[in-house]
Chain A
Amino acid sequence: MKALGIQNSPVQGLAMPDGCGEGGVAIRVRGLRKRYGDVEAVRGIDVTVRTGEIFAFLGPNGAGKTTTVEMLEGYRHRDAGEVEVLGADPARPVPGWRARIGVVLQESQPEAELTVQECVSLYAGYYPRPRPVGETLELVGLADRVATRCGRLSGGQRRRLDVALALIGDPELVFLDEPTTGFDPAARQSAWEVIAGLRDLGKTIFLTTHYMEEAERLADRIAVIAAGRIVAEGTAATLGGRDALASIISFTLPSGVSAAGLPPAVAGAVTSGPGEKVEARITSPLPLLGALAAWATARNVDLPDLQVFRPTLEDVYLQLTRESR
């Protein structure tokens, strides 16, 4: 569990070479392919997920996220490629393999006639070494719903139950397929807390989502999938070269002030005469801002709408997924 300390610092986690430290490799995928009729849903995917990390698979609808996850879970057979999940091929699971993974499907309902307690106890009975039922319900925040019939739970509560059922066998690896799709903001927030709590239990988590914010909040590493291919991989900070992307400095040149004397990087970016919007793209904005401030102070002018934009994960994501179309 020593690896946990590292997980809280994504930058450090990135610097970690493959398979370093205590963390081995939980999932290794090479050249994975899947075709449905004429459509090639997954077109050669390589992924490595290290033990103890939260790995997010980010992509738009229909990108191949669920197909990939279901091949890793053993639900679908691949057309080509190599897959190793906890040391076994999901298509030919070794005895005991299923007890070591937990699965939250994209869509599934619980046994409507059972109470929450009965349902979780039922699933606990499938596993050789289950977690305590009460403690697991506590973890997902359903401790006050033990006597409720599963059929009467709200959407958010059902999703929590899904998570409880995936955890009850005390798996090493948990798959979460779009765990918060269709949630209201409050429900999403509490689901994130639950998932972040799994990290503290030392679980490896493979998460698919189409919410940038979710990946950014939870994941140690993110892979962006679009049209069946991985188009970028990295931490939330470095994904798609986000850290190297230019920031944008924008302001309006006060009327009556000439653009002459502006710091060179800005001067070149002036769109036209006074009263116009000036935008400059630059990788390290701080020195330029300093020069700009000195310039403005010297001329005794203000730049009231001065703004600095950093590219958001969403910008990067949209750019990445657009390119692959």
Chain B
Amino acid sequence: MTAISQGTGHAAGARLQFPHLAVHQFGADLRCFVRNKGSVFFTLALPVLFLVIFGSVFQHQNVAVPGGRIDEPVYYVPGIIAYGVIAATFSNLVISVVRYRETGIYKRRRATPLSSSAIIAARALVAALSVLAITAVLLAIG
């Protein structure tokens, strides 16, 4: 508790660096994502369900593509991956960012030393990771 003019104790050197903050925030965001039933369902479970359903309905059919014919379920894999990517990046991101903004979470964070770039980086990392996860799962099933 010193006078205001002696604020150098918290000077620039003491600030946490961006990569550290981004990774710290990423851990929490990932945890929130995994625990949120809505985002997990639409991002991870729904594409798998699509593939399983379409795959079993059109199990014994195949479709002509340049260079030959492939099994119908295999034909669906890239499209559903595209859906998964969109869900993970656009829908999920938009819904959670709006929710965070409405509940005042971002406003509170703005009062902390956390930079907005760290917040954005953490969200991007979560989105990238969930894209990788759903792509890997769909490829494996397909």
Contacts and interface: CB of A to CB of B under 8 A. Distances in A.
B90 to A, nearest CB: 20
A114 interface: yes
Contact of B4 (A87, A110, A113): A87
Interface residues of B, number: 31
Interface stretch (A121-129, A257-265, A296-304): A121-129
Contacts, number: 114
A97 B107 CA distance: 17
Nearest to A119: B28
A65 to B, nearest CB: 17
Interface in A60-109: 73-75, 84, 86-88, 95-103, 105, 107-109
A221 B132 CA distance: 57
A111 B1 contact: no
A238 interface: no
A105 B105 contact: no
Chain A CB within 10 A, most for which of B1, B24, B104: B1
Given A105-B108, A123-B112, A126-B114, A87 B16 contact: no
Interface string B16-44: 10000100110010011001100000000
B14 A110 contact: no
Interface string B94-137: 00000000011101111111100000000000000000000000
B15 interface: yes
B113 A51 contact: no
Contacts of B15: 95-96, 99, 128
A112 B113 CA distance: 21
A108 B109 CA distance: 11
B64 interface: no
Given A24-B5, A202-B1, A108 B10 contact: no
A26 interface: yes
Contacts of A3: 1
B65 interface: no
A194 B55 CA distance: 59
B105 A128 contact: no
A118 interface: yes
B67 interface: no
A99 B113 contact: yes
A222 interface: no
Given A26-B4, A113-B36, A125-B24, A103 B11 contact: no
Given A3-B1, A101-B111, 19 more contacts: A24-B3, A25-B4, A51-B4, A75-B107, A84-B4, A86-B7, A96-B14, A98-B113, A99-B10, A99-B15, A105-B104, A105-B108, A108-B107, A109-B105, A111-B28, A114-B28, A126-B24, A128-B16, A202-B1
